[in-house]
Amino acid sequence: MRSIHYFAAVVMWVGLSSTAVARPEIDAQANEVLKAVNTYMSGLDALLISAEVSEESVYGDNHKLLFVGTVELGIRHPAQFFTEHHTNFKNRRTYLNQGTFTVFDEDVNVYAQASAPGSLNDVFTKLHARYGISSPGSELFSGNAYELLVSKASRVIYVGESTIGGRACHHIAGVLADMDWQLWVQKEGDPQLCRYVITDRNVPMAPQFSITFDKWQANANISNQRFNFRAPADAEAIEFVK
């Protein structure tokens, strides 16, 4: 059986990994918005979203390319999710259901599965530690967004207000030891997420990952079938590399 290390295979799932800061400097207005986001997100039973994603990659001769695509994400607490990620260079689906995590690579028609019991936050943490599966964004959907965003930042600032997709949004930024994040949050109504950007200063040329949310269905009625993975008859099962 073949093996593959699916580094960055799962769009949306990873925690920020810098060392926690004892006393981050947090702007009061930014703190209020982030706490509202945390309360809102942790109170959702289910969520169905679609978004546009862009990801910069740096190559050996220090040139940077931008890849764009779309992602659909469905979450049902306490421990179900699926993603469908499509770009010009990769098409992948992921699933968490009944304690099993699955990655299916449509381009090469292979899939890998691993036991993944526990809450969403537990699963994200274990998958990253055991298999190195990482990709920006899991902190937003873990049910513990405030702590994961703030505890590892040296500063969190309120930048101001801006418009994303016709929506007035709060613009907040966090500074970490080796990376920065920016978050835009809807100002009116529920504090839905509008855009999230991560800048990796630990890599030459500081590549960015960006996700802009264009459809957001809180407490959506998601069919059970969306969380079930059914392998195509000709697909090959492989293993994650630890």
- Domains annotated for the chain, with CATH where assigned, are 3-227 (2.50.20.10)
What are the structure tokens assigned to 99, written together?
A: 């304690």
For residue 18, pLDDT over 80 is answered with no
- pLDDT at site 61: 83
Alpha helices in the chain (DSSP H): 28-42, 120-131, 138-141, 145-150
Q: For the range 220-226, what are the long-range contacts, defined as Cβ-Cβ under 8 Å and sequence gap of 24 or more?
A: 220/46, 220/47, 220/48, 220/74, 221/46, 222/46, 222/48, 222/74, 222/76, 226/74, 226/82
Give the pLDDT score at 30: 98
* Least confidently predicted of 8-17, 129-138, 168-177, 222-231: 8-17
In the predicted structure, residue 115 carries a pLDDT above the cut 50: yes
Confidence of residue 221 (pLDDT cuts 50, 70, 90): very high
